[in-house]
Structure 1
Amino acid sequence: MPPARRGMMGAMTETRPPFPPFTHETALQKVQAAEDAWNTCDPEHVSLAYTPDSQWRNRSEHIVGRAEIVAFLTRKWQRELDYSLRKSLWDFHDNRIAVRFQYECHDDTGQWYRSYGNELWEFTPSGLMARREASINDVPITESERRHVGPRPASEHGQDFPLW
């Protein structure tokens, strides 16, 4: 459950620290938190990092709101089996973060893929992501070519990964 804080008028407001404007350290924390959450493959859990009306462009899809995010991620992880993701901070400024990522998974036929991508993120003052734009390319690989297996160990947090 995300932390909450009292807003004006005493109402509880969803928050997701760290909050913008980001520093290098807090941007790294935000990227690692996203990687950790996505590696759970739990659509409901992941959706809580986004505003209720968050807008996404993911490949050719336009997704709006948490319900659509949950539906999208549910479909994604039903077809992308043994999903394992790595994210790397590319840049940040004020309330925006750019990341590059790679993930590996296989389909129900056993074909493995490595997907390469870039994301642009925009956050609200409460630390929730209001906008996510993702461009992704998939490359078939063999199981022996895998390099991302399971969640990243804490000892590797913040480490970059090869371009190819």
Structure 2
Amino acid sequence: MSLAPPFTTETAQKKVKKAQDLWNTQDPESIAKVYTSNSIWRNRDKFLSGTEQIVQFLTSKWQKEKNYRLRKELFTFSSNKIAVQFWYEYQDAHDGMKWKRCYGLEDWTYGDEDGGKMRKRMMSGNDVEIKEEERWFKDGVDVNSVDISESHW
């Protein structure tokens, strides 16, 4: 089954979970391969373009965000776009290793000629400090099995 556009409900959901699993590897080089070589990103207040900037950004991200665990869920989609809601937890190496959770939304755009690679990624997210006992994605927990209540959607 192709995960290239045009998307169906099934292929959009699979694309989201494939992205989730890839990002959870925290491997910038592998992750960058699913974006076009001239992909454009907005990640919070950062604007990026191209593979080299994506790899640099992700490398820096995971120097700060330790013990990172991510969950993505399909929000909506069209033939060549996917909107995703996500949550991730990490320990902030720049803030005394405090636990934080990011809540956010992404919109992804794919071109017809890109063979299923993403050409645009726009992300908005907000971090909140959490206590150890408030964590959802503890070691050994399948991020997909965590019951995230409506108040967190």
Q: TM-score normalised to the size of structure 2?
A: 0.89
Map 1:19-34 to 2 at 5 A. Answer: 19-34=4-19
Q: Is the 8 A contact 1:39 1:150 kept in 2?
A: no
Map 1:64-143 to 2 at 5 A. Answer: 64-108=49-93, 109-125=96-112, 126-143=115-132
SS of 1:46's partner is helix
The alignment's C-alpha RMSD in Å is 1.8
* Aligned equivalents of 2:92, 2:54: Cα separation in 1: 21
Q: Is the 8 A contact 1:81 1:105 kept in 2?
A: yes
Matched, 1:53 2:20: no
Map 1:7-46 to 2 at 5 A. Answer: 17-46=2-31
Structure number, greater radius of gyration: 1
Pairs aligned (count): 146
Q: CA deviation at 1:151?
A: 8.0
In structure 2, list runs of 5 or more residues that go unmatched.
Answer: none
Task: State percent identity of aligned pairs.
Answer: 45
* Aligned equivalents of 1:153, 1:146: Cα separation in 2: 13
* Aligned equivalents of 1:25, 1:57: Cα separation in 2: 27
Q: Is the 8 A contact 1:82 1:106 kept in 2?
A: yes
In structure 1, the partner of 2:138 is: 149
* Aligned equivalents of 2:139, 2:79: Cα separation in 1: 32
Q: CA deviation at 1:152?
A: 6.7
Compared CA separation, residues 136 and 25, structure 1 to 2 (3 A):
same
In structure 2, the partner of 1:161 is: 148
Q: Is the 8 A contact 1:87 1:101 kept in 2?
A: yes
